[in-house]
Amino acid sequence: MKKLVIATRRSRLALWQAEHVRERLATLHAGLAIELLPLTTRGDELIDRRLDAAGGKGLFVKELETAMAEGRADLAVHSIKDVPADLPPGFALAAITAREDPRDVFVSPKYPSIATLPRGATLGTSSLRRSAQILERHPHVEVRLLRGNVDTRLAKLDRGEYDAIVLAAAGLQRLGLEARITTRLEADEMLPAPGQGALGIECVARRAEVAALLAPLGDGPTTICVRAERAVSRALGGSCALPLAAYAEFRSNIVRLRALVASTDGKRVIRCEVEGDAADPQGLGERAAHDLRRQGAEEILGH
């Protein structure tokens, strides 16, 4: 191949991620021309509604997949937490990159932590996972919908529309906005989304020549952990309509996986922790999902 075209969303973070992958590919494959194809997705346009009410995570990837299917692009770069647990037929994740900080962060010009928010303080997030975990511990906080890209969310905070917001650490770090972080939320307080902090590189499954070029970008331990996390989501329905978190850690060929399912109001939260051999991340994720169901997740899933 002489040229690769990378499909990407138009947000500053998405363009940074695509350019990061472009630079790594250019280093690996001298002489290969690599271009970006910025696209606007339905998820970027619907900024006043929750994703779960508008059609789910696939709203961020459909246009990119269409470009690949039509031959206008060879690959797409995603924040893997935005990628549905099940890809459409004919597509594959060719590489999952080394994970950056997987944590969520609390950002506020007024308060040092979630615990210091007074009754009725407004906290912005678009994530049911985040809001459920916040409401579990801090039911006095008013959690309000906050959509848009990172810069848009920070601008709304700076205009005083919210007292605080919660974002992913990796996004702020990639954009050079680490100074905006007030407090990093450890996994015990805010369990991350499946895949948070890692990039997923997608291509058409039958294009082995593209997959071969992308394979060196993959990180082994991250891939194992993310596949375990995504297996939990897949086994429980794979939808962003469910407050679900999953986070795996790799140590000495053993994977520790923590997961939770919650009611949207945070009044019921079911947690589990499993460990297993790194050779079977899918099986480990399915074990975690089974444990959550055994504890009563079906009742939450049915609501």
pLDDT digits (tens, 9 = 90+) for 90-131: 999 999 999 999 999 999 999 999 999 999 999 999 899 999
Question: So where are the chain's domains?
Answer: 1-97+198-218, 104-185, 219-303
The 10s digit of each residue's pLDDT in 195-223 is 999 999 999 999 999 999 999 999 999 99
Q: Where are the alpha helices (DSSP H) in 126-280?
A: 128-137, 150-158, 169-174, 208-214, 220-235
Asked if the domains 104-185 and 219-303 are classified in one and the same CATH topology, the answer is: no
Tell me if 192 sits within 8 A of 247, measured CB to CB.
yes
Active site residues: 82
Tell me if 158 sits within 8 A of 143, measured CB to CB.
no
Q: Which fold has domain 219-303?
A: Double Stranded RNA Binding Domain (3.30.160)
Q: Domain 1-97+198-218 maps to which CATH number in 3.40.190.10, 3.30.2310.20, 3.40.50.2300, 2.30.30.40?
A: 3.40.190.10
Share of the chain above pLDDT 90, in %: 84
Share of the chain above pLDDT 70, in %: 92
pLDDT of residue 300: 86
Lowest average pLDDT, out of 1-5, 98-102, 156-160, 199-203, goes to 1-5
H or E element in which residue 51 lies: helix 51-54
Average pLDDT, rounded, for the chain: 92
For 100, phi then psi, to 5°, come to -90, -165
In degrees, to the nearest 5, what angle opens at C-alpha 176 toward C-alphas 172 and 181? Answer: 45
B/e letters for 20-59, b = 16+ CB within 10 Å, e = fewer, are ebbebbeeeeeeeebebbebebebbeeeeebbbeeebbbb
pLDDT at 293 over 50: yes
Give the confidence band of 61 by pLDDT, cuts at 50, 70, 90: confident
Say which amino acid occupies 283. Answer: G
Say which amino acid occupies 251. Answer: R
Half-sphere exposure at residue 184, Cβ-oriented, CA atoms within 13 angstroms: 12
In degrees, to the nearest 5, what angle opens at C-alpha 163 toward C-alphas 198 and 159? Answer: 90
143: which 2 tokens? 């959690």
Chain CA centroid to CA 28, Å: 26
For 145, phi then psi, to 5°, come to -60, 135
Domain 104-185 belongs to what architecture?
3-Layer(aba) Sandwich (3.40)
